[in-house]
Each structure stands twice: as structure tokens, then as C-alpha cells.
Amino acid sequence: MIFSYLLRTVFSTGIFIFLITAQVMAQVMSQGVNENKPTELPVVEVEGQVTDSPARMELEFKLEEVPGGTNIIDLDKKTSSQATLSDVLGFEPGIIMQEFFGGNDQPRLNIRGSGIQDNPVSRGVQLLYDGLPLNQADGSFIIGLLDPEHAMLVSVYRGANGMQYGASTLGGAINFIQRNGSNSDAALHLEAGSFDTFNGSISFSGEEKKWDYYFISGHSQSDGFRQHSEGKRSNVMMNAGYKFANNENRTYFNFTDNVFEIPFVLPRDRVLNDPDSILGEGDSSLDSILNILKRDPLRDTRQYRLANKTTLRGIDSDQTMGVYAEKIEDYFKNPLTHTITESTNLGVEYSYKLYLDEEGEDLSGSYQFSLSANQGDMPRELYANNRETGQRLHRFGNLDLKAGNLALGIQAIDSWSESLQWVMSLQWVTNERDIKDKQTPGLLDSDFSYHSVNPKLGLIYHQNDHTRYFTNISRSSEAPTFWQLLLNDALPVHDRQSVSVNPLELQEALTFEIGSEGERENFSWQLNYYYSWIKDELISEIDDDFAINGRTVNYSDDTFHQGIELELNNLLLKGWLYKHDQLKSRLVYNFADYQFDGGRFDGNQIAGIPEHLLQDELNYQIEGKFSIAPNVKWQPQDAYADHVNVMVQDAYTLWGIKLNYQPHQALRFFAVFDNLTNETYQTSYVIHGSAVDDNGSLVPTFIPGAGFNMSVGMVLKW
């Protein structure tokens, strides 16, 4: 066991040193090729123009006060497709995106081990629009409702760095900063590609004295790589803002209708030999029992959301006040059961920030108080499926679910010297979960109450204006959602179904983090290391032969998560073939070592996360008008699909290329080619708690990744 751990550590350290050495050597070689390079450059950007918007500059200033890992994603600088979350978040340090079916469905989102084992992923990260939460009152989210094209910027606060937004979970927070009439033009987006994929949207914007408005309507659809994987999403988003003095009030409305078929998982042999198939097409007993064509699993969700946010800016203070109301109609049908949930969520957010004015100090300081509160009603009905037609049969569960949360936070930032800042935060969180049984009154009635106090202490050392080092130690907590607190028990070979309560404790973690980010002439980097000690980790697992009846447990002993998050950007060549050409590289490496420390799976890896994931892109640009960017995504080792560490997702290498042509500032064309070698691989999988068979050849476990595919598109602005 010790030898195995040391071997993994040595391998990860070796690949880490290799990556840094390769980038440094590339920089040295590029300097030798062209000695007339300018000695100063702005922050290196892999794609797009180098001019930063005021909104981005303001966001960068805020993130400089965070003593931990963060990301800025500027969608105006992305020159390829932005149709899915994987397009936007899938090439970032610290973020692991695993496709499910490739469309607007339920891709797995993971930050530092946050709930990635769930099927579908629905917890572990706080999602926000302009700082107002998108998660439902029980902490869950429906990730397919998010349309990244509505955002101008995305900021990611990994781990406890998301405390200022009320996040208390291991994963932190992701804030989608919305487009509005002040920061975005009117535009037409059109995109089409493989598997009859289409994505289109049209937006309008304008400003009139103190008012501005923005409206966007979009539709996307795809038949998918496999049968029974068609998906469609239509949405409308609008917002209007009013500015008075240095203050602003903005009102938002969102409507989304998202529906997708579920092709379900496959046994390993089927993935390797017939990856675009589904159960029901063959003649095996499993095809007969779980005939997906007959059972017709799908998810159909509609969201209505109204929000208002006011920002008051004083001479030495800022205040923000936000309210939101949301209704979600969610029809979720797996191969065995229907789950119908109608949610109504109400929430309020408040923040007051006082800036310190210390004469002679280069670094700013501040005190901040924040409040986040929400409540929701989530009545849920459960029905059995007809195995021959997929139609809804008798109801076996009728539950009244209520949830409420309150998070109070204080944060202080001050400096000890002209280059050294300290950050102290304290967060108090209470979560309530109430279950009432309406099917059999009183039988399943349960109340859960969770309380936690989460402190954080951090340091930031600014070596100069372009380089900083940081460290923090913090506590986090995560309350279970109703998807974990309730269990469905159903088997495809019986007509007996039942629902039961699954009592769970609060997940708690203590995390140490250290890192650095900065730039040196033609080179920029971001590097983080984190180590989390976790108590009562919420572990999801399946222990049957059909990959359906999963459950979440608090692991009996401790677990730990440690990882490295690395990004390297390098301007390799300038004026190489043409006067105004550039060759840039961007490398992202994520290392994740998550293990059980005692208990049933002592010493084993926690299933669900690849230990090593490397992505690299070379981007050759000519005069800012044309670019060609070959890229690779490499998972060099198998990843475990069960906690016993027997079944594995195979290692894979995916090659791609992106083309971009912008003849005018207002017009851009792009093309994306993925999986150029048509590699057969498993993009994701359900997590098993035990080894049902040696390699998953008999048990439906894996989701095939799409073969060679492409898309072409255009963006026209006016």
C-alpha cells in the first residue's frame, strides 16, 4: 500500500517537473529564435484580443484579494464554440468536466472532489448569476439549465475561496457575470455540426441615458452520438438596468425549457465494440430487462426566474442587495421510475463592504459583512414505470419537501506591509431539511438540522505588480440535498417500488492550500496545491447489477483529497513567418489523489476522478484575424469506477483542432474538430461501491464518448 502511494506520488511529481521544464525550455528557445521581441507584454491570453474590458479589470482586482485558487473566463476572448458548459469550463485548472451524453444534459462538474459521484451531478458547488444563487433551497442544481452564452465573464472561486458568496462546500462557487446593455453588443450566433447539432441565438442591447437593456433568445438541439440521446433547449433571458449617480439597479428574467433523452450506461464490452448502441438493441438478457427504447428514460425541465439586484457605491463602501424568486418544473424519468418535482425558491442576498484608507499603503484593505438566506418548497411525487411502454403507472411516493438556509459571513483584509496582506473570514451556516409523507401520513416524516462555523485564515505576498504568492487554511461544510436524503428502491425484474429516508450527517473538511500566480514577459502561470482532511464525506455508490439504485452514505472513517492545479501560458514565437504572427501555448494539468483513510475501503482511491488529466493547446495567430489551434486532452492512467478499485475507465488521448477567422471586428467564423482519431473511450461512468464483476464487462457502468465530430459557426455583432 505504501509502495503504491509512493509510486503515484513519484509519477505525479515527475510529470509536474516535466511540464514546467518543457514550458521553460520552450520560452528559452523562442527567445533564441527572435531576439527583437519587446521586453514588456500584457498578460498573455491564449485566444482573442489583448484588450481587457472594464468589467474584467474590476474582477481581476477583486480576485487579487483572494488567497487561493480562482479562475477568470472571458467569453469575449473565446474564439470557438461556447454552446455547452464543457466548451467554457472544460479547459481550466482545478475544474474537471466529464461529458454525459454531449449535449445540454447533465455533465459532471467537479472542483476538488465536489459531488462528482452523483448521477446526475447536483451538488458540491454554488452556482450564481451576477452573485445571486442558482442552487435550489436544498443545495441541489440542475446543471443543464445553464446557458454559458448568457454570460460575459465567469469567475470561479475554488474551495473555501467562495465563502463571500455564501458557499460552504468543498467545491466553492462559480459566478456567471451576465451580459447587459452596457457591456455587450447585439449579436447573432449560429452553429451547426455532427449528429444534427444546431445552436443559435439572437440578442439585442441598447442604452438610453441612465437606462440599458439586454435581450437574448436561443435554441439548441442535437440527436446525439448514440440512439435515444436527443436533446433540446430553448431559453429567453432579459435584463434592464438603471444607473443613478454611482449606483445601479438591475432586474433579470430567465426562462429555460430543457429536455433530453437518456441513452443510459453500457457494459464495458459494449462500449468497446459497439459504442453508439444502447441497451435494447441486442439479444442478451440485460437488453431484454433494461430495454431503453421501451422504457424511454428522459428529463424535461422548465425554469422561470425573476431577480433584482441593487448596488450602492459610496466614497468608502459598497452595498449590494438582491432578491430572487424561481419556479422549476422537473420531470425526471429513469428506466424504472418517474420523479416529478415542482420547486418554488425564494432568496435574499446582502453584502456591505467598507474599504480601509491607509495613507502610504500600496495594498488596499476592507471589512465585509454578508448575508445569504433562502427557502424553498419542493413537493415530489414518485411513480412506477411500465416496463413495456415506459408509461407512468401507480404512485408509490408523495412527499412534501421544504428546505431553508442561512449563511452569515464576515471578512477582514488588511496589510502588514507594502507587500504582505492577511485575510480572515468567519462563516456561520444553518441548513434545514423537512420531509413530510403525504402518501402514508407520518411514516417518513423527518426533520434534519445542520449547523457549522467555518473559519478561514489566509496570507498574500505580492512580490511585484505581476506576481503573488498565497496560502490559506479553511474549514468547509456541506449539508445533503433531498436527492441524497431520499432513497428509491426499484428493480427492473419486479413491479415493487418503495421510497425511504436516508439519514445523513454534515460533511466537514479542513483544507490547506498554497499557490502562486503571475507573469514574466512572455510567460504566465497559475499553480495551486491543496490538501483536505474530510470527515463524514458524502460518498455515492451503487451496489446492484443494474446501475440504477444508487445511495449516498457518510463514509465511516476519514478521507483525504489532495491535488495540484496548474496552468502555463507561453508566447513561444512572434514575427515567425509573418510580421504580426504569434505562436502561443496553453497547458492545463490537474492532479487529484483522493483516498479512503480507514474503514471498508482503507487505502483505496475514491472512484470518479482521473488522477492525472493533461490538456495542451498550440495557437498560431496571424494579425489577430486568423488562428489555428491543435489541442490534446490526455488521461494517461485508468481511473477507477468502483471504490474497491477493480473496474476502471480506460486511459485515453483525444486530439482536436480549432480554426477561427475574423475578417472584421463585428464578424467571426469558427470551426471545431474533436476526437480526430475517432478514439473509442469512456467519457464517464456510474460509481460502484463493490466489484460486481472483474472489469465491468457484464454490468452497465460506462458512458461512451463521442467519436469524431465537428461543428462550424459564425458570430455577427452590430
Tens digit of pLDDT for each residue in 429-473? 999 999 999 999 999 999 999 999 999 999 999 999 899 999 999
Contacts of 293 (CB under 8 A, 6+ apart): 227, 228, 278, 280, 281
> What three-state secondary structure class fits 417?
coil
Cell of 515: 499557490
Please state the rounded mean pLDDT for residues 2-31. 39
Higher pLDDT, 541 or 92: 92
Place of cell 467571426: 668
Dihedral, 623, 178, 114, 80 alpha carbons, nearest 10 = -30
pLDDT range class, residue 693, cuts 50, 70, 90: low
The pLDDT value given to residue 409: 95
Task: Average the pLDDT over 295-324 and give the result.
Answer: 95
Evaluate if residue 24 carries a pLDDT over 50.
Answer: no
The string over 364-395, giving b where at least 16 C-beta atoms fall within 10 Å of a residue's C-beta and e elsewhere, is bbbebebebbbbbebbbbbbbbebeebebeee
pLDDT tens digits, one per residue of 410-436: 999 999 988 999 999 999 999 999 999
Say what the pLDDT of residue 343 is. 96
Q: pLDDT-derived band of residue 142, with 50, 70 and 90 as boundaries?
A: very high
Mean pLDDT of 98-106: 74
Number of domains in the chain: 1
Q: Report residue 696's pLDDT band, with 50, 70 and 90 as the boundaries.
A: low
pLDDT at 198 over 70: yes
Buried b (16+ CB within 10 A) or exposed e, 139-162: bbbbbbbbbbbbbbbbbbbbbbbb
DSSP 170-194: SSEEEEEEE--TTT---EEEEEEET
Name the pLDDT band for 193 (thresholds 50, 70, 90): very high
- What's the confidence (pLDDT) of residue 52? 75
| pLDDT, average across residues 334-352 | 95
Q: Which residues of 513-533 are buried (b: 16+ CB within 10 A; e: fewer)?
A: bbbbbbbeebbbbbbbbbebe
712: β partners: 192, 671
Grid cell at residue 618:
498550440
| Residue 616 pLDDT > 70 | yes
Position 545 scores a pLDDT of: 60
Contacts of 718 (CB under 8 A, 6+ apart): 185, 186, 187, 666
- The most confident of 1-15, 202-216, 683-697, by mean pLDDT: 202-216
Res 597 pLDDT > 70:
yes
Domain of residue 281: give its range: 2-717
Q: Considering the chain, what percentage of its residues have pLDDT values greater than 90?
A: 70
Report pLDDT for 20. 40
Whole-number pLDDT of residue 656? 97
pLDDT tens across 215-235, in order? 999 999 999 999 999 999 999
Torsion of CA 62, 67, 68, 72, to 10 degrees: 10
Band of the pLDDT at 49, cuts 50, 70, 90? very low
Residue type, 193: G
The one-letter code for the residue type at 124 is G
- Give pLDDT, residue 497: 84
- Model confidence at 304, pLDDT cuts 50, 70, 90, reads very high
Q: Where are the alpha helices (DSSP H) in 241-356?
A: 268-273, 285-289, 292-295
CATH of the domain at 379: 2.40.170.20
Summarize the confidence of residues 5-16 as an average pLDDT.
40
What is the pLDDT, as a whole number, of residue 126? Answer: 94
Q: What backbone phi and psi angles, to 5 degrees, belong to 264?
A: 70, 175
Q: What pLDDT shows up at residue 112? A: 93
The confidence score (pLDDT) of residue 386 equals 87
Predicted confidence band of residue 187 (pLDDT cuts 50, 70, 90): very high
The winner for highest mean pLDDT among 108-117, 390-399, 669-678 is 669-678
Across the chain, mean pLDDT equals 88
Q: What confidence tier does 256 reach under pLDDT thresholds 50, 70, 90?
A: very high
Residue 586 has pLDDT above 90, yes or no: yes
